């Protein structure tokens, strides 16, 4: 099959399945809030952490998890990885049942998430997340995803950090908000050839993943007191996601993120992108919507920069 046709079909399938799965979280009747499921789900009580723990994502560590890469990365492909997981069609397993019980989400919703989207579950954080080789990677990023998301019961704040590096137009995109019955967040890494349409960006392939992590807080007050919602740990990825059962307000959520660039040139280019997106250079541990650079790493405290899709 022609690669472009394959990507288009994957994109269409992604939109249809997102709409079907998350719309099924509703009860089929008129509701005051489209983000609520069939059963009322109380906002989770965040686990308390100390102030020192609160700032682990925004305070540079003296021992980096891995040594920064110093070789300039040059994308050689316009396609995401061709490796993808086929959605499972098996009946709910013991693991699925345990995930449903632990997350507070009904079994049918959990089964739909895992079977259709290839999600995994972090029992320590109570978070669903996508694997690095999830099938959505084949669909790449099309701007219409954000346009149709609200119709699929997904309402969020999003911002794009665009910059040029190694002969490519790069984009880091951040999302935070309500995804059906889940509160969640995402960081995506994409690129395209200069001069090509703004409507399509390719998912970073395995040679161009980026180390990143983030911790989410329900409100600025929770951030200041150290009451986290959940954490997605430091790892190499192209789409770092996390979704936890509960009702959230997209514009209240706070993301404390850390992202590692490849080298000094990429770090400088990304700083320009952060500034154009609306972030200011600052403390990034006490000042909202600021960033701090430490070597090749950026520490970002995101609250209100960007636009909502609703």
pLDDT of residue 105: 80
Beta bridge partners of 307: 158
Q: Specify the DSSP element, H or E, that contains 307.
A: strand 307-308
Query: Is the CB of residue 228 less than 8 Å from the CB of residue 241?
Result: no
pLDDT of residue 115: 63
- pLDDT class of 5 with cuts at 50, 70, 90: very low
Give the model confidence (pLDDT) of 194-222 as tens digits: 998 888 899 999 999 999 999 999 999 99
pTM, whole model, 2 decimals?
Answer: 0.72
Mean pLDDT of 90-95: 57
Give the range among 192-196, 234-238, 290-294, 297-301 with minimum mean pLDDT. Answer: 192-196
Say if 109 falls within a structural domain: no
- pLDDT class of 186 with cuts at 50, 70, 90: very high
pLDDT of residue 79: 42
pLDDT of residue 16: 42
Beta bridge partners of 228: 47
pLDDT of residue 101: 81
Say if 78 falls within a structural domain: no
Provide the token pair at 279: 């972030």
Q: Pick the more confident residue, 191 or 68.
A: 191
Phi/psi at 117 (nearest 5 deg)? -105, -10
DSSP state of 45: -
Q: Name the residue among 220, 232, 245 with its Cα closest to residue 57.
A: 232
pLDDT of residue 22: 39
In whole angstroms, give the CA distance from residue 209 to residue 188: 10
Provide the token pair at 52: 């020192």
Say if 278 falls within a structural domain: yes
What's the domain range around 132? Answer: 3-28+118-308
pLDDT > 50? residue 48: no
> Percent of the chain beyond pLDDT 90?
51
Say if 279 falls within a structural domain: yes
pLDDT of residue 199: 80
pLDDT of residue 100: 80
Q: Specify the DSSP element, H or E, that contains 8.
A: helix 3-23
In whole angstroms, give the CA distance from residue 276 to residue 259: 17
Number of domains present in the structure of the chain: 1
Say if 65 falls within a structural domain: no
pLDDT > 70? residue 248: yes
Cα 61 from chain centre: 23
- pLDDT class of 116 with cuts at 50, 70, 90: low
Question: Mean pLDDT across the chain, nearest whole number?
Answer: 76
Say if 191 falls within a structural domain: yes
Say if 82 falls within a structural domain: no
Say if 99 falls within a structural domain: no
Give the range among 34-48, 71-85, 185-199 with minimum mean pLDDT. Answer: 34-48
Q: Pick the more confident residue, 21 or 237.
A: 237
pLDDT > 80? residue 291: yes
pLDDT of residue 117: 67
- Residue 96 CB contacts under 8 Å (≥ 6 apart), including other chains: 107, 110, 111, 114
pLDDT > 90? residue 255: yes
Query: Is the CB of residue 183 less than 8 Å from the CB of residue 244?
Result: yes
pLDDT > 90? residue 256: yes
Give the model confidence (pLDDT) of 134-149 as tens digits: 777 776 777 778 888 8
Q: Name the residue among 203, 257, 263 with its Cα closest to residue 235.
A: 257
In whole angstroms, give the CA distance from residue 21 to residue 17: 6
């Amino acid at each position: 099959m022609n690669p472009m046709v394959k990507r288009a079909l994957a994109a269409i399938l992604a939109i249809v399945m997102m709409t079907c799965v998350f719309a099924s979280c509703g009860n089929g009747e008129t509701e005051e809030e489209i983000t609520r499921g069939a059963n009322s789900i109380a906002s989770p009580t965040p686990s308390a952490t100390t102030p020192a723990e609160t700032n682990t994502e925004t305070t540079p560590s003296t021992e980096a998890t891995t040594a920064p890469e110093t070789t300039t990365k040059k994308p050689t492909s316009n396609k995401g990885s061709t490796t993808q997981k086929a959605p499972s069609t098996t009946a709910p397993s013991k693991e699925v049942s345990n995930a449903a019980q632990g997350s507070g989400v009904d079994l049918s919703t959990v089964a739909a998430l895992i079977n259709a989207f290839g999600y995994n579950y972090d029992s320590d954080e109570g978070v669903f997340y996508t694997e690095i080789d999830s099938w959505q990677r084949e669909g790449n990023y099309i701007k219409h995803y954000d346009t149709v998301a609200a119709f699929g019961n997904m309402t969020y704040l999003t911002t794009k950090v665009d910059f040029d590096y190694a002969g490519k137009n790069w984009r880091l995109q951040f999302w935070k908000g309500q995804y059906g019955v889940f509160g969640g967040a995402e960081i995506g890494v994409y690129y395209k050839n200069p001069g090509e349409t703004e409507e399509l960006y390719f998912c970073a392939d395995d040679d161009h993943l980026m180390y990143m992590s983030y911790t989410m807080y329900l409100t600025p007050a929770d951030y200041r007191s150290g009451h986290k919602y959940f954490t997605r740990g430091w790892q190499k990825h192209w789409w770092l996601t996390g979704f936890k059962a509960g009702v959230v307000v997209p514009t209240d959520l706070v993301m404390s993120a850390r992202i590692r660039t490849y080298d000094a040139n990429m770090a400088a280019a990304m700083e320009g992108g952060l500034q154009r997106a609306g972030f200011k250079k600052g403390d990034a541990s006490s000042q909202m919507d600021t960033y701090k650079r430490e070597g090749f790493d950026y520490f970002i405290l995101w609250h209100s920069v960007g636009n909502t899709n609703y």
